[in-house]
Amino acid sequence: MGSATKPDRPGLIRRIAHLDMDAFYASVELLRYPQLKGLPVVIGGGRRREDDLLDRMRLLQPEREWTADHLSEIPVDVFPRLSGYVGRGVITTATYAARAFGVGSAMGVMKAAKLCPDAILLPVDFAQYRHYSRTFKDIVLDIAPLVEDRGVDEIYIDFTDVPGGQREGGRVLARLMQKTITDATGLTCSIGVAPNKLLAKMASEFNKPNGISIIYPDDLESKIWPLACRKINGIGPKADEKLRAQGIHTIGDLALKERDWLMQHFGQSHGAWLHDAAHGLDDRPVVTDSEPVSMSRETTFEKDLHVVHDRAALGEIFTRLCQQVAADLQRKGYVGKTIGIKLRFDDFQSVTRDHTLDHYTANPLEIRQVGGLCLKRVDMKRRLRLLGVRVGALVKVDSDEALHPTSHKPPSSKLTAQEPPAQKETCHEQADLF
């Protein structure tokens, strides 16, 4: 199953862990509001304004002092509920008690209100989440040096050479990490340990929350094959639908198919990957230093905006997004040459356009200009609910690619959209209003 023996250490069995913080954003909020533990709580709908609750308490109980030190004393019935929400917000995460009602990440808050109207609604506080993210990652790095950052709440860790990483398949080291993180932060995490990253990620979901799951090389048939194909990271809804159309519902069903058959039905590369994944094969290393592929900024509007009636607002928002992306690039020392835009209309359909330059840039004026050209390639007869700007194909500002762009590939343009592309793109004049 996978690369079981590490090439440079023949005597050791390869052990890779995936650590996933449990309901991370919600759990951080419960540190602030411990009185909400066990209740359905949803995070989203807007940015944090702590004073909202404190101001309400000052009105309700003016005889006493209410400061940030008294957040844990705010009565539960003072917190806002989903039932009272009106707006365009999207859920970032929810506690497990809220998930039991079908509420989940990326769901509109108003839709969630229909599923669980009594759930408590808290705004997001990204600064606090980043603080705890850095804290738990630093803890892990003190224990194990090979860590791959996969986002604010998850990491891969190479246990192979770390003391305790081989004992009980990695369970001893996983217990140490769990305890150290909880003792330092009050947060819990779930850890899966397996011969490779593919299986470790699947294992980390087995015993949530605060669980540890160990997969050995001979566990494939009993623990992995009975699972739905969607449990493989990389198989999305469309791929799963196509698999189901072929009578393939579980990973075991997929494993029974010959490699050549899968390559014939799903393409050479994807078919070969499906075969390997079904058999638990994954030789990807834990990457400790990864460069960003792109940087982007986007915003969802409080109300749908019209390209003509809301021309000034849209132009200002678009310019600000371009400036923010440029500032992000400059602050982190990157330049890019693929500039794109993302639009979401009032019917929730999303469309993207991008253009690749023959040179690299982090200039906000150039990003704005090229982004405007991309906008011209979109027919905007519908109202907009989201606007975004992206710069991709990133390289370091002092890299050879950035300093000598002519020695690399010539410029090109491409269209991607969640709608069938037209045979021939046309420029739409109403985009000039931006």
- Which residues have a catalytic role annotated? 154
Q: Measure the CA angle with vertex 104, ends 102 and 109; round to 5°.
A: 100
Q: HSE, CB side, 13 Å, CA atoms: give it for residue 38.
A: 2
Residue that is written with structure tokens 């356009």 in the block: 353
Q: Alpha-carbon Rg of the chain, whole angstroms?
A: 25
CA-to-CA distance for 103 and 91, rounded, in angstroms? Answer: 9
Give the residue among 127, 100, 125, 105 at the shortest CA–CA distance from 115.
100
Q: Is the dihedral of CA 200, 202, 208, 214 positive or negative?
A: negative
DSSP of 122-172, one letter per residue? EEE-HHHHHHHHHHHHHHHHHH-S-EEE-SSSEEEEE-TTSTTSSGGGGHH
Name the maximum alpha-carbon separation found in the chain.
76
Q: Does residue 209 have a cis peptide bond before it, meaning omega lies within 30 degrees of 0?
A: yes
CA-to-CA distance for 240 and 262, rounded, in angstroms? Answer: 13
CA-to-CA distance for 193 and 14, rounded, in angstroms? Answer: 10
Say how many C-beta atoms besides its own lie within 10 A of residue 98's C-beta: 26
Instruction: Kindly report the length of the chain.
Output: 434
User: Which segments within 244-394 are labelled E, that is strand?
Assistant: 294-305, 334-345, 350-361, 384-392
